[in-house]
């Protein structure tokens, strides 16, 4: 019987969830190696189909989903819900837990060598998938992401602060690097896809225009802007140095509730942001108090430094009161 070194340091992980986190980490180690080979491996960015909502599906989206699903089948996970599958899969019938996952977030960046990620949420399993996943984000047991970048990191919260593990690529093991990641309250960096300005509602336009006006405008200070096109990369930057991220609903066809999915993107990112001392809303109200009305339902998402998230909400209230 060969003893195997654990793929992740589980000392700070609640024992009942450790096997699931280990399985997620094991799949992430495999996926990081595939991503790291880039064009030397098989074509990762080739379009192979469409998922539920007609989003293009890349080869790596499908491969990542298969890698995570295979690992989840070996754990106590009853329900597995993925961006890449129409409905939740039942795995271990008496399993106590459920996982919602975006196996590969940021697919449009695969072929241009920009950081991409995996986003995951763990909940307790109920007798049916709908009751399990369509519930307030505050009922998550864990939320987190893996970023496949210059280094590979796994960031997770269990409701008692935010842990960060960094992959030692030579040993194939995630090593604990931070036990209390914090988002600074103040920030002077915002992230939004500014090409959509003409489609935004007034409060979003007012917030961004004030940032662009900088020291000459109502904020009285200059701002910087970032937009990577990969939610996990934006989240990791904000957790590392502060900032605010906005993907609001807008006037484009199909974007009334924005682009991001509540169950396996917004909810876990909101959990991490709040546990790191930041805030997460739909632009106005706390996201953790909200629940999806469908497995792939979208939600507007504003998260990051508390002062900036509050300023976006203040503008929504001020303009609504006019
Ligand atoms: P893809 O996985 O289709 O590339 O979408 C990535 C994403 O869901 C999220 O990671 C980004 O923040 C956001 O979409 C980028 O959206 P835009 O392409 O509209 O800027």
Q: Read off the CATH number of the domain in which 126 is found.
A: 3.30.540.10
Closest residue (by CA) to atom 2 of ligand 1?
Answer: 106
Tell whether 10 is covered by a domain. no
| Ligand 1 atom at minimum distance from 230 CA | 10
Domain annotation covers residue 235: yes
Residues 90 and 212 in one domain: no
Mark the ranges of the chain whose per-residue pLDDT is less than 70. Answer: 1-4, 52-53
pTM greater than 0.85 (yes/no): yes
pLDDT of 52 reads 65
Domain of 74? 15-178
| pLDDT at residue 42, as a whole number | 79
Closest residue (by CA) to atom 13 of ligand 1? 229
Which pLDDT score, from 0 to 100, does residue 1 have? 44
Q: Which atom of ligand 1 is nearest to the CA of 108?
A: 4
**Count of residues making up the chain:** 322
> Which is it for the CA torsion 128, 130, 133, 139, positive or negative?
negative
Indicate if 156 and 275 belong to the same structural domain: no
Please indicate, yes or no, whether residues 89 and 223 belong to a single structural domain of this protein: no
Most informative mutation of 111, 247, 298 for ligand 1 (most atoms within 8 A of CB): 247
| Boundary (domain end) residue, out of 158, 178, 198 | 178
In this structure, the answer to whether residues 212 and 173 fall within a common structural domain is: no
Q: Is residue 8 part of a domain?
A: no
- What is the per-residue pLDDT for 5? 74
Say if strands 77-82 and 47-50 run parallel, antiparallel, or are unpaired.
Answer: unpaired
Overall domain count for the chain:
2
Mutation pick for ligand 1 pocket among 59, 110, 225, 229 (CB with most ligand atoms within 8 Å): 229
Note whether residue 78 is domain-resident: yes
CA of 76 to the centre of ligand 1 (A): 31
Task: Output the ligand 1 site: residues, CB below 6 A.
Answer: 55, 105-108, 193, 229-231, 259-260
Statement to judge: residues 174 and 203 lie in one domain? no
* Residues 174 and 250 both lie in one domain: no
Same domain, 168 and 262: no
Q: Which atom of ligand 1 is nearest to the CA of 234?
A: 12
User: CA separation (Å) from 272 to 10, 125, 214, 287, 303?
Assistant: 18, 21, 29, 12, 10
Residue closest by Cα to atom 17 of ligand 1: 229
Instruction: Of 139, 249, 264, give the one whose Cα is nearest residue 203.
Output: 249
All residues at 6 or more sequence positions from 312 whose CB lies less than 8 Å from its CB, including other chains: 203, 204, 207, 244, 246, 281, 283, 302
Q: What is the greatest pairwise CA distance in the chain?
A: 71
Looking at the structure, tell me whether residues 141 and 218 fall in a common domain.
no
Pocket-testing residue among 54, 197, 231, 263, ligand 1, by greatest number of atoms within 8 A of Cβ: 231
Residue pair 5/171 in contact (Cβ under 8 Å)? The answer is: yes
Q: Are residues 61 and 81 in the same domain?
A: yes
């Amino acid at each position: 019987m060969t003893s195997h070194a654990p793929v992740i340091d589980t000392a700070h992980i609640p024992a009942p969830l450790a096997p699931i986190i280990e399985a997620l980490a094991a799949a992430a180690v495999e996926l990081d190696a595939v991503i790291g080979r880039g064009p030397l491996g098989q074509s990762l960015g080739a379009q192979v189909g469409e998922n539920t909502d007609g989003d293009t599906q890349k080869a790596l989206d499908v491969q990542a989903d298969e890698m995570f699903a295979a690992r989840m089948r070996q754990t106590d996970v009853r329900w597995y819900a993925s961006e890449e599958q129409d409905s939740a899969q039942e795995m271990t019938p008496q399993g106590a837990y459920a996982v919602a996952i975006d196996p590969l977030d940021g697919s449009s960046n695969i072929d241009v060598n920009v950081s991409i990620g995996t986003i995951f949420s763990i909940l307790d399993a109920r007798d049916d998938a709908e009751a399990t996943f369509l519930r307030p984000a505050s009922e998550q047991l864990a939320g987190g992401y893996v970023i496949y970048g210059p280094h590979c990191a796994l960031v997770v919260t269990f409701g008692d602060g935010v842990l960060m593990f960094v992959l030692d690529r030579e040993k194939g093991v995630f090593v604990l690097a931070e036990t209390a990641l914090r988002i600074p309250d103040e920030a002077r960096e915002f992230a939004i896809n500014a090409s959509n300005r003409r489609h935004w509602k007034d409060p979003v336009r007012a917030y961004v225009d004030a940032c662009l006006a900088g020291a000459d405008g109502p904020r009285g200070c200059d701002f910087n802007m970032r937009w990577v096109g990969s939610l996990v990369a934006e989240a990791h930057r904000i957790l590392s140095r502060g900032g605010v991220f906005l993907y609001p609903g807008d006037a484009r066809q199909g974007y009334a509730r924005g682009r991001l999915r509540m169950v396996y993107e917004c909810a876990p990112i909101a959990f991490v942001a709040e546990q790191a001392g930041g805030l997460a809303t739909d632009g106005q109200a706390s996201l953790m108090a909200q629940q999806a009305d469908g497995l792939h339902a979208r939600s507007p998402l504003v998260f990051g430094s508390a002062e900036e998230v509050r300023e976006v909400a203040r503008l929504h209230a001020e303009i609504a009161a006019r």
